[in-house]
């Protein structure tokens, strides 16, 4: 098990390096520079600025510096938020995004699993059809449609919940962003759980357990469910990716001061260093979270960690 974790950790290093290199090259090879404003700068000012940001150095030197900075936790200055370094912006945004993402994932699993189980155990009953209809809806309607509709319905017409802001300790602020972000994941988890549990319930070992006279509840909880959970757990990797991209929309719509909003603002302002920093943080988050999911998967399924056939 430890060997597997170490192997996966080492495997993540080249991926992270590739992410940094690729985003660095894309940004540097772009036509135009960060100082191309509507009004052209005087050449002396431009060259001074470029020197100040180290842009007059050859490409590999710039990359070395950037990488060295990253290893020390320094993402460089933001070109447009002039009083802040990218590291400072990340430090303020990361906790908000992590809290939002963690809450959404928690909600998705705690709601999606029981809904999927309910649908599977009441196969072809009204409850099943209802859950599946909701699941199809949740999967096909994107977050950027759900979020404004939810804000319109619960925030403006019904006035139940605030539609923006993020004050520490204000639980009501978190409800709409968390729920809208979680909805597609809930739908997916429910659909996966249902499909996989239905299949498991038909498999020989469950039938054998029933034949031995194991009580029905015990068959579901102790025999079928653990086996049925593997596809759901392997979906958690893609789910974290969905939560991270969805958070861009949710943070923008509900005005949360998270990473996603900085990334969107940076992209709109063409703030090169900010976008690069945010993309690297997001990518690193994705790699780390996927690693955690994979380790959890290996822990649950011995075939994976021993490199057996899938």
Which residues form the interface with other proteins (CB under 8 A)? 14-15, 18-19, 22-23, 26-27, 30-31, 136, 140-142, 144-145, 147-149, 151-152, 156, 241, 244-245, 248-249, 252-253, 263-264, 266-268, 270, 272, 275-276, 279, 282-283, 286-287, 290
CA dist 212 and 181 (Å) reads 44
CA dist 7 and 170 (Å) reads 42
Least distance in Å: CB of 218 to other proteins? Answer: 29
Choose between 165 and 226: whose C-beta lies nearer to other proteins. Answer: 165
Choose between 176 and 220: whose C-beta lies nearer to other proteins. Answer: 176
Cβ distance 62 to 17 under 8 Å?
A: no
Q: Long-range contacts: 156-161, Cβ < 8 Å, 24+?
A: none
Choose between 224 and 244: whose C-beta lies nearer to other proteins. Answer: 244
Least distance in Å: CB of 139 to other proteins? Answer: 8
Choose between 156 and 171: whose C-beta lies nearer to other proteins. Answer: 156
Least distance in Å: CB of 56 to other proteins? Answer: 20
CA dist 86 and 77 (Å) reads 6
Of 209, 204, 233, nearest to 223 by C-alpha is 209
Choose between 145 and 172: whose C-beta lies nearer to other proteins. Answer: 145
Choose between 121 and 287: whose C-beta lies nearer to other proteins. Answer: 287
Q: Cα-flanking dihedrals φ and ψ of residue 77, to 5°?
A: -80, 155
Choose between 29 and 71: whose C-beta lies nearer to other proteins. Answer: 29
Least distance in Å: CB of 295 to other proteins? Answer: 15
Least distance in Å: CB of 214 to other proteins? Answer: 28
Q: Cα-flanking dihedrals φ and ψ of residue 72, to 5°?
A: -90, 5
Choose between 109 and 263: whose C-beta lies nearer to other proteins. Answer: 263
Least distance in Å: CB of 3 to other proteins? Answer: 20
Least distance in Å: CB of 246 to other proteins? Answer: 9
Q: Which residues of 256-283 are buried (b: 16+ CB within 10 A; e: fewer)?
A: bbbbbbbbbbbeeeebbbbbbbbbbbbb
Least distance in Å: CB of 268 to other proteins? Answer: 6
């Amino acid at each position: 098990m430890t060997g597997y974790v170490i192997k996966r950790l080492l495997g993540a290093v080249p991926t992270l390096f590739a992410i940094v290199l690729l985003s660095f090259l894309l940004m540097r090879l772009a036509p135009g520079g960060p100082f191309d404003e509507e009004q052209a700068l005087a050449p002396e000012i431009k060259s001074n600025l470029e020197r100040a940001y180290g842009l007059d150095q050859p490409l590999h030197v710039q990359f070395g510096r950037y990488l060295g900075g990253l290893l020390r936790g320094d993402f460089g200055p933001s070109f447009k938020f002039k009083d802040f370094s990218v590291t400072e912006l990340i430090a303020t945004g990361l906790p908000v995004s992590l809290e939002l993402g963690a809450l959404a994932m928690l909600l998705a699993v705690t709601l999606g699993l029981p809904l999927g189980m309910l649908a599977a155990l009441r196969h072809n009953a009204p409850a099943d059809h209802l859950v599946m209809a909701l699941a199809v809806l949740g999967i096909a309607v994107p977050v950027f449609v759900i979020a404004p509709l939810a804000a319109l319905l619960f925030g403006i017409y019904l006035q139940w919940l605030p539609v923006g802001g993020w004050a520490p300790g204000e639980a009501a602020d978190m409800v709409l962003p968390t729920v809208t972000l979680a909805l597609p994941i809930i739908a997916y988890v429910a659909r996966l759980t249902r499909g996989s549990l239905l299949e498991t319930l038909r498999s020989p070992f469950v039938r054998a357990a029933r034949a031995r006279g194991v009580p029905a509840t015990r068959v579901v909880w102790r025999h079928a469910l653990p086996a049925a959970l593997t596809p759901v757990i392997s979906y958690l990797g893609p789910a974290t990716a969905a939560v991270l991209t969805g958070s861009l929309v949710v943070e923008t719509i509900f005005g949360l001061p998270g990473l996603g909003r900085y990334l969107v603002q940076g992209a709109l302002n063409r703030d090169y260093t900010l976008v690069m920093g945010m993309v690297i943080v997001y990518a690193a988050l994705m790699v780390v979270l996927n690693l955690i999911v994979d380790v959890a998967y290996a822990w649950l399924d011995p075939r994976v960690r021993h490199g057996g056939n899938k």
